């Protein structure tokens, strides 16, 4: 571990955002302040990262249809349970049920699935990716959206123009549900998001850099 994650600016900023948002929307208090998004290439052993995350953080596992998904999700469920963390499964509701995950994260193209998932699993945390300005009626079924890219990011978002502070703040003010920021968020960039209205932060490399695992 490079440093204590609980003393890191990324975690502290995420907590501060969560507390501020919860003061306006009490339901936010049940959402993790920080979400670690897994990536098969950048985080091939995501359970090791989760084991070093602060208690109360969350993990969004994205297996992308790989054969290792079931085993990796099982490992993550064990670690996140031991660490009092929330585990969301990307896209695969069946895997979420099998692993007794805390919910599902949907890609933006699958937003229409949110109402049915909510009816079938009222206790789940449901989140969805958002790259545009707004979403449709599916918002009623969601607990939060993940807005990206906030800053210049790698991976699939590398070609997307970053929203920047003004863009994030504007979109958050228009959305009637909690919003996480994702994309280029690190311990160094997180503090400038303090007044954006986000309910928390999400990251891949920024988390790995803090906990020193992957």
The confidence score (pLDDT) of residue 2 equals 46
Residue showing tokens 């228009």: 174
pLDDT in tens, the chain (214 residues): 345 777 799 999 999 999 999 999 989 999 999 999 999 999 999 999 999 999 999 999 999 999 999 999 999 999 999 999 999 999 999 999 999 999 999 999 999 999 999 998 999 999 999 998 878 899 999 999 999 999 987 766 667 899 999 999 999 999 989 999 999 999 999 999 999 999 999 999 999 998 876 6
The confidence score (pLDDT) of residue 130 equals 96
Using DSSP bridges, classify how beta strands 58-61 and 86-90 pair: parallel, antiparallel or unpaired: parallel
Q: State the CATH architecture for 5-211.
A: Alpha-Beta Barrel (3.20)
Separation between Cα atoms, residue 118 and residue 115, nearest integer Å: 5
pTM of the model: 0.95
What is residue 161's DSSP assignment?
P
Q: How many CB atoms lie within 10 A of CB 186?
A: 17
For the chain, which residues make up each domain, given as ranges? 5-211
The confidence score (pLDDT) of residue 157 equals 63
Residue closest to 59 by CA, chosen among 28, 22, 102? 102
The confidence score (pLDDT) of residue 158 equals 67
Residue 135 has which token pair?
Answer: 């979403």
Which residues lie closer than 8 Å to 81 by C-beta, 6 or more apart?
none
Separation between Cα atoms, residue 117 and residue 113, nearest integer Å: 6
């Amino acid at each position: 571990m490079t440093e204590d994650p609980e003393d890191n600016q990324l975690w502290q900023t995420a907590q501060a955002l969560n507390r501020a948002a919860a003061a306006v929307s009490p339901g936010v208090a049940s959402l993790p302040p920080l979400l670690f998004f897994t990536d098969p290439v950048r985080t091939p052993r995501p359970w090791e990262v989760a084991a070093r995350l602060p208690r109360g953080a969350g993990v969004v596992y994205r297996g992308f249809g790989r054969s290792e998904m079931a085993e990796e999700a099982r490992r993550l469920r064990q670690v996140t349970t031991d660490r009092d963390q929330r585990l969301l499964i990307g896209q695969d509701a069946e895997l979420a049920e099998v692993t007794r995950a805390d919910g599902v994260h949907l890609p933006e193209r699958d937003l229409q699935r949110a109402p049915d998932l909510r009816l079938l699993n009222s206790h789940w945390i449901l989140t969805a990716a958002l790259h545009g300005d707004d979403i449709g009626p599916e918002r009623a079924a969601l607990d939060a959206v993940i807005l990206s890219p906030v800053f210049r990011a790698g991976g699939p978002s590398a070609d997307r123009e970053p929203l920047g502070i003004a863009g994030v703040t504007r979109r958050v003010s228009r959305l009637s549900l909690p919003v996480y920021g994702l994309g280029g968020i690190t311990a160094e960039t997180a503090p400038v998001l303090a007044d954006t209205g986000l309910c928390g932060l999400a990251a891949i490399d920024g988390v790995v850099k803090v906990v020193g695992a992957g």
